[in-house]
Chain A
Amino acid sequence: MLSNAWIIPAIPAVSFFLVLFFGKRMPGRGAEIGIAAVGASFVLSVVAVIQWIDRVENATGQHEGLRALGRGIFAAAGHGEVAVQPVTSSITWWQNGLVKFTVGTRVDGLVVMMLFVVTLISLLVHVYSVAYMREEVRFTHYYAMLSLFTASMLLLVVADNTLLLLVGWEGVGLCSFALIGHFWEDQPNSNAALKAFFTTRTGDIGLMIGIIMMFFASGTFSISGTNAYALSRGADHSLLLIGAICLFIGIIGKSGQFPLHTWLPDAMAGPTPVSALIHAATMVVAGVFLGARLYPVFFKGFSIGSGSINFMALIGGITIVIGAVLAFVQRDIKKVLAYSTISQIGYMVMALGVGAWTAAVFHLFTHAFFKALLFLGAGSVSFSGSHHSFDMKSDMGGLRKPMPITFWTFIIGALALAGIFPFAGFWSKDEILVTAGASGFDAFMIVGLVGAFLTAAYMTRCIYLTFFGEYRGHGHPHESEPLITVPLVVLACFSVVAGLINAAPLGIEKFKEWVEPTVSFPALVHPDFDYAKALISLTVAALGIGIGAYYWFQREERRPLGGLTERNALARAGYTFLERKYYLDVLYENIIVAGIKAPIAGAAYWFDQHIVDKIVNSVGAGARRLGTFVYDTVDQKVVDGAVNQIAEVTGESGGLLRYIQSGRVQRYALLLFAAIGLLSLALLIANI
């Protein structure tokens, strides 16, 4: 399976066409094709995971030659590990001079981990959508796009070169556009889809420039080649820095990092299962995946090893805090989760920026489960509890009794997100913080702790508003059907146990062993588990929950800060500032876009009026003049003249000849004899 990994994205891609062309005629309106295809991909991904683990385990002691090679190139020889070569297979697409463009797959630990996560989440979302989207008109198209979405993400994951990766990257962007705008009948939804598309495109420009720069720097599009170049001694550092910045702009756009995060909350306009897919497994993690895939470029470009503040860690750190703060002022449960995603992706980016590669990828892995769980839980609440509304303040509350499964799985997801022991989020977040501290990035460790505190507090608020208090909606809340609850339970199980795969104090570090590359990879710090820091982060999270609970689990009027925004102008201003999302949307739409739009529009208008119109008008006038000339001269004089002339000549000659036609036989006979006489005379003369 490892060398034939192309099959995994190919199955959903084929399914896309099958659903599109035959879906409507199927009894399940195409859903069964999509589920079967993604299920097959999932099974193959599990096979790939098992084969990869087998390969890693077998590498010890059996590949002395490879170990020497790995030590020679670079690598983890210092860690006392063997180099496990990634499995690559590629074919030449086309060749231009000496440059070969290939299409192929390159499978390593990171890739099999992603294949597993993407296919699992996608499969659960497919199943969940059967119930959730049942009433939809465009059910079949929805499934077709889900299949294409999955296929694009899987292609992005297995790609062995940056060009193929870009194809998957754009495919993911296109499908997320189509799915966010699924309910396009309402103007705000199609606006949200356009916003998501254009904002990520802004980042994609950076990505394309970055890919081209790295091609000219390293002479190859292949990921192995680019990484090897970045780590080689001859690499040009300033070139790497600019390349890394350009690539990172792509990550900022795709992964919803500050300052291009504004599309992500708006993307909540799409169906909830799609939000789960976008936030957990496909769209936004694509950026983090790119960062992890081309890590040597970023590591060398941003000089991450030196322990100084760098662009990547800075953006990640800012994003953690601004995302988390915004989550407090949302009424919409999905927007709370959206800002939470922004913040958590910020953790991953910050982790990459501080050299905690394994922790970042590990957090991606665990986050996928609990964030998908939370989104699907929110979908379940709106589907069966709040009558298709997502407004926590006006349509929810007190749902824990009618919806026990949704409630408990949501609690598990929230605890995992908040980083409470022993749920998945604890292990990965803790590892990020510990590694940040140990690599000399103490400031970022503190940012991470602040983020952890905020995360715990806003999730407490969200749970209170949704599940506790009085029911404020108008529906008849009841538990959702098994098609919805079973995926929730599956994800809840993963949210509990997924962290144990890399639980350092228990002596398990399988995730690092299986996933972290050992070839063409910088030497990273792997600090030991730090009980003191773990305790601090746990305390901070508990404090967040405690303070949140103390504040929100009281009656409105008895809250210590209740009514503060009404009494205090400064607090009100702060609240408005947050509610307006730091005025970033205003900045983008009213200042930057309008500022660019007006002169461009003006110039375009001038060009239109003065150049284009002039050309059109001159062409028109010229054509008219030519037409008049042709009419007057050619048509009237030449053509008509010729016709008239012919008619006239014919008429006149007819008039003349008419005298011969007297109708008298004897006149004819006279002419006959006269003609014979003349002819005879002529012959006579000719013969003499």
Chain B
Amino acid sequence: MGLNQYLILSAFLFCTGVYGVLARKNAVLVLMSVELMLNAVNINLVAFSAFKGTVSGQVFALFVTTIAAAEVGVGLAIVLLIYRNEHTSDLDEVDELKG
């Protein structure tokens, strides 16, 4: 298998994530979409790492996974608080920073 298949998969996953972030109303689904985008990047890193025969890309991927876990933790906590205060998880209704 060549590198391109991995890259195409990664691009597909990333686009799916972008679409999810931009289009979904539910905050939890937006967070999941962000995870999709991160994993698309991870695929890229691992694919390039295997292709070039070095391990640095895989190390990066491990870091990304770790950071993503923390990020989701923080993100879900925020969503939980928003829900507790606003009784909704719809992002369109959370617009208090409107100028």
**Would you call A687 an interface residue if the criterion is a C-beta within 8 Å of the partner chain's C-beta atoms?**
no
Report yes or no: B97 in contact with A661, Cβ–Cβ below 8 A: yes
Interface residues on B, range: 10 to 19
B55 neighbours in A (Cβ, 8 Å): none
Instruction: Given the known inter-chain contacts A669-B22, A673-B18, please indicate yes or no for A660 contacting B95, CB distance below 8 A.
Output: no
Report yes or no: A665 in contact with B91, Cβ–Cβ below 8 A: yes
With A and B bound together, what is the CA distance between A670 and B99 in angstroms? 17
Report yes or no: B96 in contact with A666, Cβ–Cβ below 8 A: no
**Would you call B94 an interface residue if the criterion is a C-beta within 8 Å of the partner chain's C-beta atoms?**
yes
Bitwise, A637-672 to B at CB < 8 A (1) or not (0) is 000000000000000000001101111111001100
Report yes or no: B94 in contact with A662, Cβ–Cβ below 8 A: no
A657 neighbours in B (Cβ, 8 Å): 99
Report yes or no: A662 in contact with B21, Cβ–Cβ below 8 A: no
With A and B bound together, what is the CA distance between A657 and B30 in angstroms? 26
Report yes or no: A658 in contact with B30, Cβ–Cβ below 8 A: no
Report yes or no: B22 in contact with A666, Cβ–Cβ below 8 A: yes
B21 neighbours in A (Cβ, 8 Å): 666, 669
With A and B bound together, what is the CA distance between A665 and B79 in angstroms? 13
Q: Which of B18, B23, B94, B99 contacts A665 (CB 8 A)?
A: B94
Report yes or no: A662 in contact with B95, Cβ–Cβ below 8 A: yes
Report yes or no: B98 in contact with A662, Cβ–Cβ below 8 A: yes
B99 neighbours in A (Cβ, 8 Å): 657-658, 660-663
- Which residue of the partner chain A has the closest CB to B21? A669
With A and B bound together, what is the CA distance between A666 and B23 in angstroms? 8
Report yes or no: A664 in contact with B91, Cβ–Cβ below 8 A: yes
Report yes or no: B97 in contact with A666, Cβ–Cβ below 8 A: no
Instruction: Given the known inter-chain contacts A669-B21, A670-B22, A673-B22, please indicate yes or no for A663 contacting B30, CB distance below 8 A.
Output: no
A658 neighbours in B (Cβ, 8 Å): 99
Interface residues on A, range: 10 to 19
- Which residue of the partner chain A has the closest CB to B93? A664
Report yes or no: A666 in contact with B98, Cβ–Cβ below 8 A: no
Report yes or no: B22 in contact with A664, Cβ–Cβ below 8 A: no
Instruction: Given the known inter-chain contacts A673-B18, A673-B22, please indicate yes or no for A666 contacting B30, CB distance below 8 A.
Output: yes
With A and B bound together, what is the CA distance between A662 and B92 in angstroms? 10
B91 neighbours in A (Cβ, 8 Å): 664-666
With A and B bound together, what is the CA distance between A666 and B18 in angstroms? 10
With A and B bound together, what is the CA distance between A234 and B63 in angstroms? 122
B18 neighbours in A (Cβ, 8 Å): 673
Q: Which of A663, A669, A670, A673 contacts B95 (CB 8 A)?
A: A663
Closest Cβ of chain B to A499, distance in Å, is: 117
With A and B bound together, what is the CA distance between A138 and B92 in angstroms? 97
With A and B bound together, what is the CA distance between A666 and B97 in angstroms? 13
With A and B bound together, what is the CA distance between A665 and B75 in angstroms? 13
A669 neighbours in B (Cβ, 8 Å): 21-22
Closest Cβ of chain A to B20, distance in Å, is: 10
With A and B bound together, what is the CA distance between A418 and B91 in angstroms? 131
Closest Cβ of chain A to B61, distance in Å, is: 21
With A and B bound together, what is the CA distance between A16 and B23 in angstroms? 104
Bitwise, B58-99 to A at CB < 8 A (1) or not (0) is 000000000000000000000000000000000110111111
B97 neighbours in A (Cβ, 8 Å): 661, 663
Report yes or no: A663 in contact with B96, Cβ–Cβ below 8 A: yes
A665 neighbours in B (Cβ, 8 Å): 30, 91, 94
With A and B bound together, what is the CA distance between A494 and B30 in angstroms? 130
Residue among A658, A662, A664, A673 having the largest count of chain B Cβ atoms under 10 Å: A664
A663 neighbours in B (Cβ, 8 Å): 94-99
- Which residue of the partner chain A has the closest CB to B24? A666
What would be 28 A-B contacts, judged by CB atoms less than 8 Å apart?
A658-B99, A660-B99, A661-B98, A662-B95, A662-B98, A662-B99, A663-B95, A663-B96, A663-B97, A663-B98, A663-B99, A664-B91, A664-B92, A664-B95, A664-B98, A665-B30, A665-B91, A665-B94, A666-B22, A666-B23, A666-B30, A666-B91, A666-B92, A669-B21, A669-B22, A670-B22, A673-B18, A673-B22
7 tightest A-B CB contacts, nearest first = A661-B99, A663-B98, A663-B95, A663-B97, A658-B99, A664-B95, A669-B21
Q: A662-B99, A665-B91, A666-B30 are in contact. List 13 more A-B contacts (CB 8 A).
A: A661-B98, A662-B98, A663-B94, A663-B95, A663-B96, A663-B98, A664-B95, A665-B30, A666-B21, A666-B22, A666-B91, A669-B21, A673-B18
